[in-house]
Amino acid sequence: MKYMLLINAGELDLSGGAAGCEPEDWMRFDKEIQEAGVVVSSESLADLVTSTRVQVANDGRRTVTDGPFAETREVLGGYYVIDVPDLDVALEWAAKCPGSRGGGSIDVRPVAEFPGA
């Protein structure tokens, strides 16, 4: 079963990285999870200042907004999609991920399965 681990950054330090997490922690975790053979895909996102929001109103008018967005409380910093037998295993990986520390959090969501897909 596939789960997406959505990594929400906690407090950011001055350079925009998650507080309390060293790059080495991420490298160690990434190596471990890749070697376990459970990763389907994963990406780390660039800083929120580089983000742009697009909305299309009912009348078809397009609004483009520059990030960061004032109302955004949790900043999505990246994700892993993993294929593991059940939720407990997915939660285990989420707890190992450095993104769950230092005020950050990880949402673990099953990837929807469609019949015949």
Partner 1 sequence: MHAEVEAVFREERGRLLAALARRFGDLDLAEEVASEAIEAALVKWPVDGVPPNPGAWLMTTARRKAVDRLRRDQVYAAKLAVLQVEADRAGPPAVGDELPDERLQLFFTCSHPALAAEDRGALTLRCLAGLSTPEVGRAFLVPTATMAKRIVRAKKKIKDARIPFRVPGPDELPDRLPGVLQVIYSVFTEGYSASSGPFLQRLDLAEEAIRLARILRRLLPDEREVAGLLALMLLIHARRDARTGPDGSLVLLDDQDRSCWDRDLIAEGSDLVVASLTGGPAGPYGVQAAIAALHDEAPDVAGTDWAQIVALYDVLIAMDPSPVVEVNRAAAIAMRDGAEAGLALLDRLSGEPRLREYHPYVLARADLLHRLGRLPEATAAYREALALAGTEPERDHLRCRLAALAGETPS
Q: In the complex, which residues of this chain contact partner 1 (CB under 8 A)?
A: 1, 85-88, 91, 110, 115
CB of 66 to partner 1, least distance (A): 36
Helices first, then strands: H and E counts in the chain: 2, 6
Closer CB to partner 1, 23 or 115, in the complex: 115
- Return all residues near 56 (Cβ < 8 A) that are at least 6 apart: 62, 63
CB of 72 to partner 1, least distance (A): 25
Given a contact cutoff of 8 angstroms between Cβ atoms, the answer to whether 76 and 44 are in contact is: no
CB of 37 to partner 1, least distance (A): 17
Residues 35 and 77: their CA atoms lie apart, in Å, by 22
Closer CB to partner 1, 103 or 110, in the complex: 110
The structure tokens listed for 9 are 């950054």
Residues 76 and 64: their CA atoms lie apart, in Å, by 19
Closer CB to partner 1, 35 or 88, in the complex: 88
CB of 92 to partner 1, least distance (A): 9
Closer CB to partner 1, 37 or 85, in the complex: 85
